[in-house]
Every structure is written in C-alpha cells, then in structure tokens.
Structure 1
Amino acid sequence: MLRTLTTIHVDCLFDGIDFHRAFTRARFEELNMDLFRNCLDPVESCLKDATMNKSSTSVDEVLLVCGYTRIPKVQQIFQVFFSGKELCKSINQDEAVAYGASVQAAILIEIVQVLQDITLSDVISLFLEQGWEKEVMQCVF
C-alpha cells in the first residue's frame, strides 16, 4: 500500500533544534518534479546515440534500477515516456545492479572469454537532495 503522508523527524537539525513536520506525497512530487523529469535526459540521449526511438517496436523491456526509480511518480513518468509500456518488475532491481557489476568485473579482469564482446557503458547517476532554508524546503541538485 502506498503512503500519501509521512512525518519527518530530524533530531538536532540545527543548533539543538529538533524538526518535525508532516509531509505529503503530493508536496514531495511537486518539489521534485523538475528533477524527476531530468531523469529522462540520459534515456533520451541513450536512445538517440543508439539511433532508436521510444516506440514499443524499438524497446522490448523497460527495467528501472536504482533507488529513485522506486518512487511511484518516477515510474509513472517513465511509463508515460514509453507510451504506456508496462515497466518490467519481474527482475529484482538490486540483483540487476549486482549482476551488471559482476559482469563488468569479469570483463575488466578478462577471466571469462565469452564476455569479451560485451561492453557496459557507465551510467550517469542522478540523485535527489533536499536543502532547508528558514524552514522552507527547497530543491537543490
């Protein structure tokens, strides 16, 4: 079940002052919408570099990995971007990252002959940070 409201507790945020505030999913999404949309930039660049488009005939599966892709709004943005294509959820995101890292390690140390034709590209990792100024939440990147 998705939660729409949470309470943030930060002990001793500044000069011994504790911070407690209710925070809604809608407000979180509103504050971060520009950052969420920026998540599409590397995907668009990758598709362009591969001379592919986002149609279902060019893209077989959409698998999102890493922490921020667990955010429901990010998933929705990617699903809309790929014209409603269902996101692949049958693969464990954490295991996919670990598998990719192990394949890259095997390539780098050249222990598996069959992997020599595989190349893995570095991915630009996007992350979200929040800053506080006079008790007003602001997005920083």
Structure 2
Amino acid sequence: MIAGLNVLRIINEPLLKAIAYGLDRTGCASPERNVPFFYLGGGTFDLSILTIDNGFFKVKATAGDTHLGGEDFDNRLVSHFVEEFKRKHKKDISQNKRAVGRCARCARGLTGR
C-alpha cells in the first residue's frame, strides 16, 4: 500500500506518456514499431524510445538533461531580443530590469508559457 491505496502496478514515466498519448488504444494489432517520446518541461528535457508490439510496451532507452528545459529557451530568447535591440538601436538595455522583463514576457508569449 502507498498512501492508503492498494498498488497493483507501478509504471515508469515513458510508459505513462505513451498511455496518456493514447498509444495503448491505437492499432493494438499493428506490427512492432519504435516510437520516440520527447518531453520539454520548464527545467528538463527527456527522450524515451518505446517499442510497441501488439499493444505491449517496452522501454528501449531513456535519457534526459535536467539542466535543459523551456526556461533555458526563454532565457536564450531574452538574450536574443536584448542583442537585437542593441544592434538596431545602438542602446544596451541588459541592465534595465523593466526592459528585460518586457523581453521575458515576450519570450514566454512566443513559447506558450
């Protein structure tokens, strides 16, 4: 028991993603295939390769980077905007918290966060 629940089976994150994506219901009788799963979180990037064969899943490989995620993309976009502003207007706004904050809001808007 965990937290008062009777645990029948514990599955790993890549399998959970496959099930959430609906691959457990699509083409159960289909031939064996390898499917990549990418996850880009706020601070992590994960990749898993699953083999799906007749409705059964097997995790073939999984890897990730806990220091690469959506926030890193946002920060890179902010740096790009600051450099573009400097190039176009010959003014460095990198020390202006308000201006950098506006760039950050713009970056988050572009990345959907």
**TM-score under structure 1 length normalisation:** 0.27
Structure with the larger strand share: 2
User: Which of the pair has more CA radius of gyration?
Assistant: 2
TM-score with structure 2 setting the length: 0.31
